[in-house]
Structure 1
Amino acid sequence: MAASVVERFREPAVDESAPFHVGHPLDRVPGMLLFSGLLDLAVRADSARSCGRRAGRVVAGLDFPWSCEFERGTTLSCRPVPGRNRAWTVAARQDAREVCAGSIAFADDDGPAAGPPGPARPLAAMPPPRHAPVDLVHRHRPENLQVGEPVRRGRGAVEAAVLRPPGRDRAAWSPVEIVEAGRQFAALLEHGEHGEHGEHGRPMDVRLLWAPVRLDVPFRLGGAVPLLLRWQVARMPGPRSRCAATLADASTGAGLGSLAYEAYAVDAERCERTRSS
């Protein structure tokens, strides 16, 4: 693919009955739907540019400066980064405003595992995870849950199992599933009192505006690998919070990747100011 080529397409209408991307009543287009569309666009463009070489890892960084509205057409774009690489600049635009922008890059092989290893635990000794409370991950449908109930490991870490949503491909974990599980894990840590479920103690009626999202995860991971997310406790003062989580093999504790999410806890008035009208 020539470096000057730009691929674009219109975001299709949001299907509010879709069980994976839509887990609660919507007043704007979900950020995960934008990520999924941008990743798909970059995958198709990269396949042509790299002559079909299969990606082993995906590294991405996205920002969400404005809300994405239902009433406006959304254009997704993907531009190759100049040079010998597999990197792409991506954006979602409504009118002339970017509602999501960043980069997506692919590596030829899996490379080294990311993140520190945890304690090895035989898979047979691991009990089935209990589901996290639905409301704490901002979902209304139990079938949307992708994280188990959090477990504190001593004073320094919180872990939660990654759950397989119904109807998804069981042969492999996709990056979209992993990123959504990480988002739910980060939301889970926001709420609760005195660490019962969450670590930041945000009230349930607060709105969370997700800002930067950073990830370095396997592009296609075997579905038989049991996954967990691990957060080293690190609280930030004020309305901003950050969850830097390690993606790990639950049977060995070995690190497989990393995910980082930042969010702002805001009231309804500030949330309304993020709309792109």
Structure 2
Amino acid sequence: MAASVIERFREPVVDESDPFHVDHPLDHVPGMLLFSGVLDLAVRADSARSRGRRAGRVAAGLDFTRFCELDRGTTLACRPIPGRNRAWTVAARQGGREVCAGSIAFTDDAPCVEPAGVAAPPGRARPPAAIPPSRHASADLVHRHRQENILVGEPVRRGRGAVEAAVLRPPGRDRDAWTPVEIVEAGRQFATLLEHSEHGRPLDARLLWVSLRMDVPFRLDGSVPLLLRWPVARVPGPRSRCAAVLADASTGAGLGSLAYEAYAVDQERYERTRSS
């Protein structure tokens, strides 16, 4: 199929009454809405390119370079990466300037893998995990207003080894499968929570999301209990970075990885950034 046929473009409509993506009043288009939009565009294009083959995993690397404004038109674009692959470049633009750009790739199979750097010692299986409590994390710690939009449980520290939190399902969502959007939003909330609870950020700090790296199952059975595991390892530098493992809470098996980068700013610096 010619590339010109499977290039996709779309102008999303931002529904400010959406109770999930617009949890509270915002002065810009949320990054999760951009991620959801470019992912959906890539899924549709990939279905045409792969003749309907169902994806097993999805990997993405996205950078958020500018604020996406509510009062301007936004165009989402998706183009195939040449070669025998299921990979796509994606972007969101306003007035010809990119506000989000990167790549999304799909694979056919969905093996349960332990992400690099956190594998169990050779010859030893990772022991089954104790499922963390399912009580919702504090709304203030995850920057949510509606409790039904809190997708992580209260964090639990496993000795000196890791901090874990259960992944929670929002009411009314498909109970048959976990979606990448749910998993990425849960990971974003987990990273936000850690900034406050582990790194001492004040609750009024604004976190400006600047990048996402992920490799997770595309459609995971909804009966699998999930947890997020952070190995208590902070990367030095001006940015806040959280790299977490997505795991099966009943077995401890690694299912994927999520990494987020953000700048933490106070209200004054946030306003300067918005006006620049």
Fold agreement, TM-score > 0.5: yes
Task: Please name the residue that 2:123 is paired with.
Answer: none
* Superposed CA offset, 1:139-176 (max 9, x none): 01111000000000011210000000011100000000
Task: Please name the residue that 1:10 is paired with.
Answer: 11
Q: CA 1:276–1:78 in 2, change beyond 3 Å: closer, same or farther? A: farther
* Superposed CA offset, 1:73-132 (max 9, x none): 00000000011110000000000110000000000111341323643147xxx4752110
Task: Please name the residue that 1:86 is paired with.
Answer: 86
Distance in 2, Cα, partners of 1:268 & 1:79: 37
Task: Please name the residue that 1:120 is paired with.
Answer: 128
Residue 229 of structure 1: how far off its partner (Å)? 0.1
Aligned positions of 1:47-58 closer than 5 A: 47-58=47-58
When structure 1 is superposed on structure 2, of 164-173 and 112-121 the one drifting more is 112-121
Distance in 1, Cα, partners of 2:221 & 2:65: 34
TM-score calculated relative to the size of structure 1: 0.91
TM-score calculated relative to the size of structure 2: 0.92
Task: Please name the residue that 1:224 is paired with.
Answer: 223
Secondary structure of 1:23 counterpart: coil
Q: CA 1:257–1:39 in 2, change beyond 3 Å: closer, same or farther? A: same
Residue 7 of structure 1: how far off its partner (Å)? 1.0
| Counterpart check, 1:96 vs 2:96 | yes
Secondary structure of 2:4 counterpart: coil
Q: CA 1:111–1:267 in 2, change beyond 3 Å: closer, same or farther? A: same
Distance in 2, Cα, partners of 1:18 & 1:219: 23
Task: Please name the residue that 1:206 is paired with.
Answer: 205
Residue 15 of structure 1: how far off its partner (Å)? 2.1
Secondary structure of 2:32 counterpart: helix
Residue 241 of structure 1: how far off its partner (Å)? 1.3
Q: CA 1:272–1:97 in 2, change beyond 3 Å: closer, same or farther? A: farther
When structure 1 is superposed on structure 2, of 136-145 and 262-271 the one drifting more is 262-271
Pick from 124, 136, 141 the counterpart of residue 141 of structure 2. Answer: 136
Distance in 2, Cα, partners of 1:111 & 1:254: 11
* Superposed CA offset, 1:8-38 (max 9, x none): 11111x2233222122221110100000010
Task: Please name the residue that 2:153 is paired with.
Answer: 148
Task: Please name the residue that 2:46 is paired with.
Answer: 46
Task: Please name the residue that 1:31 is paired with.
Answer: 31
Structure 2 runs not aligned, ≥5 long: 121-125
Distance in 1, Cα, partners of 2:200 & 2:237: 12
Structure 1 runs not aligned, ≥5 long: 192-197
Distance in 1, Cα, partners of 2:81 & 2:23: 34
Secondary structure of 1:163 counterpart: coil
Residue 275 of structure 1: how far off its partner (Å)? 4.1
Q: CA 1:82–1:238 in 2, change beyond 3 Å: closer, same or farther? A: closer
Pick from 185, 190, 193 the counterpart of residue 190 of structure 2. Answer: 185
Task: Please name the residue that 2:108 is paired with.
Answer: 108
Equivalent pairs counted in the alignment come to 267
When structure 1 is superposed on structure 2, of 267-276 and 236-245 the one drifting more is 267-276
- The one-letter amino acid of 1:32's match is M
